[in-house]
């Protein structure tokens, strides 16, 4: 009983320290924390939420808090907007094949620079400012995602992950570290590959059969015809919405990918609004949530 009381007190102090703005949710967070303690959560981080200083700080605090609460976090980050900005700066025109962007050797060099060096280092540094214990898996000096080339190389150095170095990942997590993964793959011939961050995050989540996969997006979540957020969505409802045209455009492949991931053992996938501060804590530690939770 004394141990339980001390643990509850420690949790309360951590919540107060790292999530002061969420004080009205603190009393109800205990059950959610217990639900995720010692469980694996994979978070895909990128886009808008990675480009705004305020949101980067909020994200770093969220991750540090969850790590100290005993949640086993793995972050896979993208960097599409930052890569595109660099391509424009260098006046490099990227081409497409059947609607897919081609990663040439020149573009791959930029991908490695932006993802493996700049963004990965920045995320690690920001999280560690708040004692988050982050560690870099940047795809350059640590080979985590063995990959095969997509479409026989017709879209250049784009890869699909086929094997995860679980041993390295588990070793870091067992030491209470938070792996920060750049989606850069490798093969046995020494080639590096650009992997879609959603795909990399999904692959890691499937391989580890994690409790939650959170995909930080630049939208509120899945919306109904009245533009209201759909808080929970199962497969039957989702395909009804697709048929009716409620779910459309770029949201269709995202939702289908979520169900593919669920079929491979992940227990829940959430599309979370990464444009809002503390979105991750709202999704994991409150009844309200911060996006659309997709379940079987």
The enclosing domain of 270 has a CATH number of 3.40.1160.10
Using CB atoms within 10 Å of the CB of residue 194, give its burial: 0 to 12 exposed, 13 to 18 middle, 19+ buried.
Answer: buried
Q: Is residue 14 part of a domain?
A: no
Q: Per the domain annotation, does 188 fall within a domain?
A: yes
Task: Give a yes or no: residue 9 inside a domain.
Answer: no
Q: Look up the domain containing 180 and give its range.
A: 39-294
- pLDDT confidence of 6, banded at 50, 70, 90? low
pLDDT exceeds 90 at position 254 = no
Q: 250 lies in a domain?
A: yes
Query: 75 lies in a domain?
Result: yes
Give the number of domains in the chain: 1
- 247 CB-side CA count, 13 A: 21
Q: At what angle do helices 53-68 and 120-128 cross, to 10 degrees?
A: 60
**Taking the alpha carbons of 164, 166, 172, 176 in that order, is the dihedral positive or negative?**
positive
In percent, the amount of the chain with pLDDT more than 70 equals 98
pLDDT at 48 over 90: no
* Cβ-based neighbour number of residue 90 at 10 Å: 10
Q: Would you say residue 16 lies in a domain?
A: no
Window from 18-27, 49-58, 91-100 with minimum mean pLDDT:
91-100
Euclidean distance between CA atoms 214 and 25, whole angstroms: 20
Question: Who's near 224: CB < 8 A, 6+ residues apart?
Answer: 230, 241, 246
Supply the pLDDT for residue 150: 94
Residue 270 has a pLDDT of 94
pLDDT digits (tens, 9 = 90+) for 21-43: 999 999 999 889 999 999 999 99
Q: Is residue 156 part of a domain?
A: yes
pLDDT in tens, 210-253: 999 999 988 888 888 888 899 999 999 999 999 999 998 878 87
Decide if 24 is inside a domain: no
Rounded to two decimals, what is the model's pTM?
Answer: 0.94
């Amino acid at each position: 009983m004394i141990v339980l009381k001390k643990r509850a007190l420690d949790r309360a102090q951590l919540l107060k320290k790292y999530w002061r703005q969420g004080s009205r949710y603190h009393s109800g967070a205990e059950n959610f924390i217990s639900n995720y303690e010692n469980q694996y959560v994979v978070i895909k981080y990128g886009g808008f939420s990675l480009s705004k200083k305020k949101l980067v700080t909020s994200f770093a605090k969220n991750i540090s808090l969850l790590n100290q609460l005993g949640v086993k976090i793995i972050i896979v980050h993208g960097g599409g907007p930052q890569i595109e900005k660099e391509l424009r700066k260098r006046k490099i025109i990227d081409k497409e094949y059947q609607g897919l962007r081609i990663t040439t050797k020149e573009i791959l060099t930029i991908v490695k620079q932006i993802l493996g060096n700049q963004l990965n280092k920045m995320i690690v540094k920001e999280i560690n400012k708040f004692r988050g214990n982050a560690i870099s898996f940047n795809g350059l000096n640590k080979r985590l995602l063995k990959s095969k080339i997509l479409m026989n190389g017709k879209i250049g150095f784009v890869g699909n992950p086929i094997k995860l170095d679980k041993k390295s990942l588990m070793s870091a997590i067992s030491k209470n570290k938070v792996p920060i993964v750049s989606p850069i793959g490798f093969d046995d011939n020494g080639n590096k590959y650009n992997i879609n961050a959603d795909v990399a995050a999904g692959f890691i989540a499937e391989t580890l059969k994690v409790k939650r996969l959170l995909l930080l997006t630049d939208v509120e979540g899945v919306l109904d015809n009245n533009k209201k957020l759909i808080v929970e969505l199962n497969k039957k409802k989702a395909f009804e919405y697709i048929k009716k045209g409620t779910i459309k455009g770029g949201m269709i492949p995202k939702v289908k990918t979520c169900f593919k991931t669920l079929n491979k053992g992940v227990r829940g996938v959430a599309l979370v609004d990464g444009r809002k501060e503390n979105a991750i804590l709202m999704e994991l530690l409150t009844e309200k949530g911060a996006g659309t939770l997709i379940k079987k």
